[in-house]
Amino acid sequence: MNISAQQRNLQMEFRAFVDQFVIPSAGESDRTEKLSPEVMKKMAEKGYIGSMIAREYDGMGLDMIGLGLLNEEFGRGCSSARSLLTVHGMVALAISRWGTYEQKEQWLGRMASGEVIGAFALTEPYVGSDAKSMETSADLFEDHYVINGRKKWITMGQIADVFLIFAHCNGKPTAFLLDKHTEGFLIRPISGMMGARASMLAELRFDQCKVPKENRLGGEGSGLSHIALTCLDYGRYTIAWGCVGLGQACLEECLQYSNTRRQFGDLLSSHQLIQKMITEMVVDIKAARLLCLNAGYLKEQGDPDSIMETWNAKYFASRMINKVANDAIQIHGANGCHNSYPLERYYRDSKLNEIIEGTTQMHEILIASHASTMF
């Protein structure tokens, strides 16, 4: 499965950008738990923040393979910067697909330029995988809804301007676009995350939040079955690609290290047990990349199987990166355990991929039940 010459050129452009601007600040972002504003500005200038938004709203309008390649390169450089692309894209895509003319006009142009950042808010303190049980409520009063409840672990919640939130409306899961300045809306930063530490997570509180009726995205009851489905499918797709990029970063570090460090009189790379780990990395990363490409091509064709193939890609890639990052530390020995090398960050970042956008177990339940319907 190959990419076109045009996609290859884009990939080179993304790679050069990540090498020049993202990688140099990734360690600092991890330590300070903040994405560098300069990097975000550069991402906006290049159009990457609006990579998934249509050209008519001044976005880059990348196709699904182009988006995959972009997320792979950002995953190679900085998981937190890749997270920004993921969640901002989830909100932008939901508005593009399900928004009214007015909602698109209000948000998409400014999201494409990076003036407005989007965050996706589904998870709550007591509700994670079982999203249908969410406790946040929205009650309709003539021309507005009153929202009460809490959300937790919201990526980019500290800096977002528009939040796509989900609440039960007469028992029906419903999506809303919430401006950060809405009265009764409180954002509390979360620090101390294990990985993707510059994802600027937040807990959100809605205390009698008054939201105009026209801020509802889609119909009442379509929140999970339509809106969140669109968002999470895109989120999984970009995360799977991000894992491929992170795997590539681990592999490149291992090749460099094992070809310079000697033990027992020989380079590490000449020891067969090290070669085994490198071999597994090479093949596992390649397999994950092919699953991602397959999902991307199906998406481009509008094939409904692309949703299931995205589950497969995210499941494989997120488990793959945990093994790859683990072996990468092993190859680096003590050096791998110290922050003078990026490996310990990669290792911490890798674990989150098995939790976000559906845990490994949720994937196992869904993939197995889908498989049982096939035969």
Contact positions toward ligand FAD, by CB under 6 A? Answer: 87, 120-123, 128-129, 153-155, 193, 196, 199, 201, 352, 355-356, 359, 361-362
Cα 219 from Cα 295, distance rounded (Å):
28
DSSP codes of every residue in 69-131? HHHHHHHHH-HHHHHHHHHHHHHHHHHHHH--HHHHHHHHHHHHHTSS-EEEE--BTTBSS-G
* Residues 159 and 29 sit within 8 Å (Cβ to Cβ): no
Residue closer to ligand FAD by CB (options 35, 356) is 356
Helix (H) or strand (E) holding 169: strand 162-169
Buried b (16+ CB within 10 A) or exposed e, 293-322: bbbbbbbeeeeeebbbbbbbbbbbbbbbbb
Greatest pairwise CA separation for the chain in angstroms: 79
- Taking CB atoms, the residue at the shortest distance from ligand FAD is 128
Residue closer to ligand FAD by CB (options 201, 250) is 201
CB of 348 to ligand FAD, least distance (A): 11
Residue type, 219: G
Residue closer to ligand FAD by CB (options 66, 223) is 223
Catalytic residue set: 357
Residue closer to ligand FAD by CB (options 239, 293) is 239
Query: How many CA atoms does the CB half-sphere of 4 hold within 13 Å?
Result: 7
CB of 199 to ligand FAD, least distance (A): 6
- Helix axes of 272-300 and 305-336: crossing angle, nearest 10 degrees: 150
CB of 27 to ligand FAD, least distance (A): 18
Residue closer to ligand FAD by CB (options 46, 351) is 351
Cα 264 from Cα 242, distance rounded (Å):
36
CB of 341 to ligand FAD, least distance (A): 22
User: Which pairing describes strands 137-141 and 202-212: parallel, antiparallel, or unpaired?
Assistant: unpaired
CB of 329 to ligand FAD, least distance (A): 20
Cα 255 from Cα 327, distance rounded (Å):
12
Residue closer to ligand FAD by CB (options 196, 254) is 196
- By C-alpha distance, which of 199, 153, 200, 205 is closest to 178? 205
CB of 197 to ligand FAD, least distance (A): 9
Task: State both tokens at 97.
Answer: 């697909």
Residue type, 211: V
